[in-house]
Amino acid sequence: LHGSYEALKYGTLLDGLSDLTGGITESIAIRQDPTGCGRALAKLLDMTSLITCTVNNSQQQIRASTEKLANGIQMGINYRLYAIERVESFSGEAVQLVKLRNPLGPGGEYVGAWARGGLEWDEVPPVERDRLAVRNMAEGEFWISYSDFVKTFTHLEVVHLDAETSRDEPSLHSKHTWQMKLYQGSWRRGVTAGGCRNNQETFHINPQLHLILSEMEEVVVSLNQHSIMEPKVIGFTAYALPKNNTESINKQFFKKNKSLINSQYTNSRQVSHRCQLDQGGYLLIPTTFEPMQETSFTLRVYSSKPLKLKLLDTPPSLLKSAIVKAPPLEGKGFSQYEAVFLQLADEHRTVNAFELQELLEACLPNDYIKSCACMDVCRQVILTMDSTGSGRLKFNDFKDLMCSLKFWQAAFKNHTKEKTGILKAERLRDALLEVGFQLNTDVLSIVILRYMRKDGTLRFGDFVAAILHLNDAFAIFESKDPLQNGTIKLSLAEWLRSSLMC
């Protein structure tokens, strides 16, 4: 399944059950709440779940041979649990019995109370014995009292199967099917890898999933990571969220609202959490513990009642123009640029990309700002601000550029808190939003892929290039969509020209 036998050393029995069945797994500590465990068992036995129970060795050591308890139960072996039944003896005493099966077959017989041929069965009427099929049990099957079951076993290890994955298990055909919704996604550096709630500035960029329940229900949420050889520490958090919410949530929401559910964070393949939820909407945030860690994942929600699960994302839109027009009255600031501009300009008082680069080198105040004076950015400035198609800029265009750079620098600075001149990639979405671009995750991931540096950051020149490309992309689309239908039709020639422009 995972490329080599080396991967086996990272696995657990629960991982094996999940891989072999396609379901999600859940571990329930029996002794923490024996009464609650009994209620959970009664419900699970009615659903398409494979229930096993085991005695976990506290020393966590691999032994050459399986150890046995005094009653014959073998440690570290998962016994299949089939049923819970209540029987009455001749004296009227009621006893709760649990039916189990040893997967190893012969050699592992249970020898405690209510075992095969145990004296306790003589106290039970023949009708009850026939109802429990005591004489016709398959090899390895036996009954144990619930009180002894709780004293003997430490954990229930359960696999929940939906309609598709339970089809091949005959013992589940008469059971109620779990309703399951899933989302397959990934944590991508700078885009959706925001880390856990400890990272307040980036937590909101994690994938946001809207869960809607039609009525009060106990659900099982399972997060599975696909990184096997280098597992990440993963978990998830849930918040209450109105049903009618359709767009992603900003970071202010998480600063003002307390979480309802917090799973454990662990580097295991799968993290599951059982919770009772009222009717309504909920926001699920699957995360790695540390930000900027990349891997893909699957999040599944199981419920016995209908449910909905959808990804919240923001549709891309231009909230305001990113290009700032220079004020009509010329101030002293522009007059100092004009002399340099005219020195480099041609007889028509215009400059091309090469001359613009020299101009910016001369006019921009420091290296931090001058990072936008590279040739690629200058060429993009020409494409963006040249309205004549001549490939040259007039002085008025240059003034607009200088005003825009000042505006973009302020937005960039607002999001570079730790170190001036360096923008962490995970803050790019918010910085672009301040400039006027609202982006969805798919578009942002392309921008990040194009401009993020090896260390996971952007310089001011990268930020300016991203703004210019986005400005051109939105401008081209709006020019082709005068009725604002949200769709455009392009010929091949138009598509090539448009794609090369931005």
- The answer to the question of residue 163 being in a domain is yes
Domain boundary among 172, 189, 206: 172
Residue found under tokens 């779990």:
178
Domain boundary among 141, 172, 203: 172
- The answer to the question of residue 78 being in a domain is yes
- The answer to the question of residue 402 being in a domain is yes
What does 144-156 look like in DSSP terms, one character per residue? EEHHHHHHH--EE
pTM metric for this prediction? 0.82
Instruction: Provide the token pair at 265.
Output: 């964070």
Residue 241 · residue 281 · CB < 8 Å: yes
Residue 51 · residue 44 · CB < 8 Å: yes
Asked if residue 352 and residue 222 are part of one domain, the reply reads: no
AA letter at 363: C
CA distance 213 to 154: 32
Say which of 57, 71, 78, 102 is annotated catalytic. Answer: 102
Domain count, the chain: 3
What Å distances lie between residue 378 and 121, 238, 360, 385, 447, CA to CA? Answer: 90, 46, 9, 11, 18
- The answer to the question of residue 328 being in a domain is no
Asked if residue 270 and residue 155 are part of one domain, the reply reads: no
Asked if residue 417 and residue 293 are part of one domain, the reply reads: no
CA distance 341 to 362: 10
∠ CA 174-165-168, nearest 5°, is 60
Judging by beta carbons within 10 Å of its beta carbon (0-12, 13-18, 19+), is residue 189 exposed, middle or buried? middle
CA–chain centroid gap for 466, Å, is 26
Asked if residue 286 and residue 193 are part of one domain, the reply reads: yes
What is residue 264's predicted lDDT score, i.e. its pLDDT? 94
Residue 260 belongs to domain with CATH number = 2.60.120.380
Residue 154 belongs to domain with CATH number = 3.90.70.10
Residue 241 · residue 282 · CB < 8 Å: yes
What is residue 243's predicted lDDT score, i.e. its pLDDT? 81
Instruction: Provide the token pair at 131.
Output: 């109802």
What is residue 11's predicted lDDT score, i.e. its pLDDT? 60
User: What is the domain range of residue 341?
Assistant: 334-501
Phi and psi at 80, nearest 5°, equal -75, 130
Asked if residue 356 and residue 450 are part of one domain, the reply reads: yes
Residue 462 · residue 453 · CB < 8 Å: yes
Residue 187 · residue 203 · CB < 8 Å: no
Query: Distance from first CA to last CA of the chain, Å, rounded?
Result: 43
Return the CA Rg of the chain. Answer: 32
CA distance 75 to 54: 7
Asked if residue 288 and residue 407 are part of one domain, the reply reads: no
| Torsion angle in degrees (nearest 10) through CA of 31, 37, 38, 41 | -130
Mean pLDDT, the chain cut into blocks of 10 residues (502 residues total): 59 78 90 87 93 78 64 90 92 92 80 91 92 89 94 94 88 90 95 95 95 93 90 96 85 92 93 93 96 96 94 95 85 78 93 94 82 92 92 93 94 85 93 96 96 94 96 95 93 93 82
AA letter at 7: A
The partner residues of 156 in beta bridges, in order of sequence, read 28, 53
The count of other CB atoms within 10 Å of the CB of residue 231 is: 15
Residue found under tokens 């072996």:
77
Count of CA atoms in the C-beta half-sphere (13 A) of 220: 26
Among this protein's residues, is 206 annotated catalytic? no
What does 392-414 look like in DSSP terms, one character per residue? -EEHHHHHHHHHHHHHHHHHHHH
- The answer to the question of residue 321 being in a domain is no
What is residue 63's predicted lDDT score, i.e. its pLDDT? 45
CA distance 424 to 205: 13
Asked if residue 28 and residue 163 are part of one domain, the reply reads: yes
CA distance 152 to 462: 63
SS3 letters across 305-355: CCEEEEEECCCCEECCCCCCCCCCCCCHHHHHHHHHHHHHCCCCCEECHHH
Judging by beta carbons within 10 Å of its beta carbon (0-12, 13-18, 19+), is residue 471 exposed, middle or buried? buried
Judging by beta carbons within 10 Å of its beta carbon (0-12, 13-18, 19+), is residue 60 exposed, middle or buried? exposed
The count of other CB atoms within 10 Å of the CB of residue 118 is: 16
Instruction: Provide the token pair at 399.
Output: 């003034």
Q: Can you give the length of the chain in residues?
A: 502
Scanning 216-263, the segments in alpha helix (DSSP H) are 251-256
Asked if residue 71 and residue 121 are part of one domain, the reply reads: yes
Asked if residue 205 and residue 144 are part of one domain, the reply reads: no
Instruction: Provide the token pair at 138.
Output: 């398959």
- The answer to the question of residue 327 being in a domain is no
- The answer to the question of residue 393 being in a domain is yes
CA distance 43 to 56: 24
The answer for residues whose C-beta is within 8 angstroms of residue 351's C-beta and 6 or more apart is 341, 344, 345, 359, 392, 393, 398
Asked if residue 344 and residue 204 are part of one domain, the reply reads: no
∠ CA 224-229-230, nearest 5°, is 80
- The answer to the question of residue 322 being in a domain is no
Return the H-helix or E-strand segment holding 377.
helix 375-385
Asked if residue 281 and residue 190 are part of one domain, the reply reads: yes
Domain boundary among 146, 172, 198: 172
Judging by beta carbons within 10 Å of its beta carbon (0-12, 13-18, 19+), is residue 260 exposed, middle or buried? middle
CA distance 83 to 87: 13
Asked if residue 496 and residue 401 are part of one domain, the reply reads: yes
CA distance 47 to 217: 14
